[in-house]
């Protein structure tokens, strides 16, 4: 039969290993969340930049396919 000190040592060792594994799991989740947050922030900045350029473009001059403002041709009356 196992003695009480061995049982206590085994439970302590298992709890240490379990704590370490949980810590690694949570740290991995933090890294993924931070990466996604950075991607979201970059997408927001890009959208704001394009929206600003769209707002500065004269009416009916925005080329949606190219995502930029096209200027009227020289001598055109549009």
Higher-confidence residue: 11 or 1? 11
Work out the angle at residue 1's Cα, subtended by the Cα atoms of residues 3 and 13, and round it to the nearest 5 degrees. Answer: 45
Q: What is the pLDDT of residue 2?
A: 66
Which segments of the chain are extended strands (E)?
62-63, 68-69
Mean pLDDT value of segment 60-76? 76
Q: What is the pLDDT of residue 77?
A: 57
Q: What is the pLDDT of residue 50?
A: 87
The per-residue pLDDT for range 6-56, each reduced to its tens digit, is 999 999 999 999 999 998 888 877 888 899 999 999 999 999 998 888 888
Q: How far apart are the first and last CA of the chain?
A: 96
């Amino acid at each position: 039969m196992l003695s009480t000190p061995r049982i206590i040592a085994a439970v302590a060792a298992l709890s240490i290993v379990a704590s370490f594994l949980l810590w690694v799991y949570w740290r991995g989740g933090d890294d993924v969340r931070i990466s996604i947050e950075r991607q979201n922030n970059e997408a927001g900045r890009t959208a704001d930049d394009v929206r600003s350029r769209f707002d500065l473009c004269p009416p009916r001059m925005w080329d949606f396919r190219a995502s930029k403002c096209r200027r009227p041709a020289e001598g055109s009356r549009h």
